[in-house]
Amino acid sequence: MDTDVRFGATWRRVTEFFRLMHSPGELRASDLTEVSGRPGSAEVLATATVCDSLNDPLRRVIVRIREGELAQVSDGKADSHAATWSCDGTRLAYLSAADPRRGHHLCVQGPDGCREIHLPGAAEQCVWAPTGASLLVRVADPGADKAGAEGSGHRPGTAGPANWLPAVDTAATTSPGRSLWLVEAETGATRPVPCGHTVWEVGYAGPDRAVAVVSAGATESDWYRAHLSVIDLDTGVATELYRSERQLGRPTGSPGGAWIAAVEADCSDRGIIAGTLLLFDHNGQPRPVDTGQVQVTAAQWLDDRRLAFSGMRGLASVVGVHDLVSGETRELWATEAGLGGLHEPDAYVQPDETVLAAVQQYRKPPAIVHRLAGASTVLVTATHAGTEALRAQIGDCATLSWEAPDGERIEGLFVTPNRPGPHPLIVYLHGGPIWAFRDRWLGSNPIIALLASHGYAVLCPNPRGSSGRGPEFVAPVLGDVGGLDGGDILAGVDHLVDAGPVDPARIGVMGGSYGGYMTAWLVTQDSRFKAAVPVAPVTHWRSLYYTTNIPRFVTNVVRAEPSEAGGVYEARSPLTYVANVRTPCLNVAGALDLCTPATEAHQFHRALLDHGVESALVVYPAEGHGIRTFPATVDYCTRVLDWFTRFMPADARSGR
């Protein structure tokens, strides 16, 4: 494989695909997320993703919807997101960075103009007080780890005294933490809230208290054992409210402070949660909310009586509201379309229970939709000049279900190209394992639509362990990685082969993170795959435990300690069975990845070569967990297409 692939025909085709997708240099939105409404007004804001150049990272800007068009609110040269209005609608706060490599700061716009407020670190979250007089800001210390869902790596750090000095780690080494700051909206005055814990996520719980997910330790791994505490904003005293064996997120209190809500679930990644919505009364006693089998991903208080929520039920996105007085839960919207952001559904619910949300499907670009009493109105779409050209080449997407070997019903999405079958098939596996595919524009990753545009069908399965079907659907994977979930995936392939739309002689597999693990695992267990692309993979659970920044993730999913000889750490690691592999593998990693370090891909590559298997290793020096930025994304997609074309070309058929 060439080191430089920029001058080939595939690179040119991939570049054209992304040019049509992003319209670089035109400040056109290719994605819309984080929708919010201005209290007392019809004004709607969102975060738009824009592309300045296919040689630069994508950027986010805050936009206002006006007469079906998007008008920019934030600085056009900065990366800005997380816009939120004060309760009276007079002030707007958001996070912004002229250079994201230096970290985000807080911006507050109001009657007196725009104020930039810099805190000692990178601002990660801002929340308005119920009074609108102040904000809570969660700040990451310089050098703190980023979550895997953000791409891993570190927050911007401070320069050391000399660049040759070594990094030193001992039992006494302390990690950069995350602190809580109070900001006065009118003056911009700031003060720390010294709660004595690392603050991972925060919400107000009345005017003078906060509720937060906190831990004593500051490492990324400590998040997996974080608990819920109530923090007095005057004294900083933190009082433990709830501790769980699972993970906690989305803490938020009712405006008057009488009730607190949070979500509890088994989670793979910090920042991604889909689970049980819990309510805590003034005595701190939790009770689950009956959400109609919806796994909740976001919660928002409408007033002291009503709690709105968004979440997943199977492949559907659902928005509802729970009345604490009557105990009634009502669904405001349920749709097979993808609501909210990439990782999970979210929506903004107004006091009259109007829903504002970003909505998209495989063939429908993101749109901001107003939903009330069952009627939907599109306020704006991200459709642009390149949309129709993309639609003409990406084929179609349909939901699919099949039966696993033990009789469980498994769901997924099936993308087919614009040509007659039987098609070559790429099985695209999601990360986590606790995550799920939803119906989104061009697929959850644009490489799905790119593969379809080159003649490949793509199966996106949600096997056991996936979000959206309750804790009983997640639980079987914990302690059984590669077991039932692997069987679910292979059963989906068998289903498509038996049904006839795919060519059994041309089946490939790829995925990232846990999907990278499953890719490496499946080629050790099944010889049907003609080519594979493990991205940011786990290839040995024990080596991962001792090198990752999230060892508690490993023990959470493996359900065993690495000091135990043999056992699941050996039995469920691809390296253990590498002698079985006959599938050519393109192993991809980011050099900055702290979650699944590049050594995981490297050792699998080396073992494949030792056993005479065709293998290539591609490590991107400026990428972390997954390949996310341009121009590396164009390079990565070029190599993936060339790999599958070489070993299972779309224009060749088995003659079945």
pLDDT over 80 (residue 530): yes
pLDDT over 70 (residue 526): yes
Segment 108-115 mean pLDDT: 93
Measured between alpha carbons, how far is 333 from 318 in angstroms, rounded to an integer? Answer: 6
**What mean pLDDT is reported for the chain?**
95
pLDDT over 90 (residue 1): no
Q: Where are the domains of the chain?
A: 289-384, 387-647
Measured between alpha carbons, how far is 641 from 16 in angstroms, rounded to an integer? Answer: 14
pTM here? Answer: 0.96
Measured between alpha carbons, how far is 415 from 326 in angstroms, rounded to an integer? Answer: 44
Question: Range with the lowest mean pLDDT among 67-81, 127-141, 189-203?
Answer: 67-81
pLDDT at 656: 41
The residue with tokens 């370090």 is: 597
Measured between alpha carbons, how far is 656 from 648 in angstroms, rounded to an integer? Answer: 15
Question: Range with the lowest mean pLDDT among 110-114, 401-405, 433-437?
Answer: 110-114
Segment 333-353 mean pLDDT: 95
pLDDT digits (tens, 9 = 90+) for 147-202: 999 999 999 876 667 889 898 999 999 999 999 999 999 999 999 999 999 999 99
pLDDT over 50 (residue 655): no
Measured between alpha carbons, how far is 537 from 515 in angstroms, rounded to an integer? Answer: 7
Burial, 160: exposed, middle or buried (Cβ in 10 Å; 0-12, 13-18, 19+)?
exposed
pLDDT over 70 (residue 653): no
pLDDT at 163: 81
Name the band, by pLDDT with cuts 50, 70 and 90, for residue 26.
confident
pLDDT digits (tens, 9 = 90+) for 416-457: 999 999 999 999 999 999 999 999 999 989 999 999 999 999
646-649 long-range contacts, CB within 8 A, separation 24+: 646/531, 646/584, 647/508, 647/530, 647/531, 647/584, 648/424, 648/505, 648/506, 648/507, 648/508, 648/530, 648/531, 649/424, 649/506
Q: Which CATH number fits domain 387-647: 2.60.120.560, 3.40.50.2300, 3.40.50.1820, 3.30.110.30?
A: 3.40.50.1820
Question: Which bin fits 617, alpha (ψ -120 to 50), beta or left (φ > 0)?
Answer: beta
pLDDT at 447: 97
Measured between alpha carbons, how far is 534 from 536 in angstroms, rounded to an integer? Answer: 7
pLDDT digits (tens, 9 = 90+) for 467-518: 999 999 999 999 999 999 999 999 999 999 999 999 999 999 999 999 999 9
Question: Range with the lowest mean pLDDT among 73-82, 125-134, 512-521?
Answer: 73-82
Whole-number percent of the chain with pLDDT over 90: 91
Sheet holding 457-462, edge to edge: 396-403, 409-416, 457-462, 423-429, 502-512, 531-535, 585-590, 615-620
DSSP state, 159? P
pLDDT at 282: 80
pLDDT digits (tens, 9 = 90+) for 221-231: 999 999 999 99
pLDDT digits (tens, 9 = 90+) for 314-334: 999 999 999 999 999 999 999
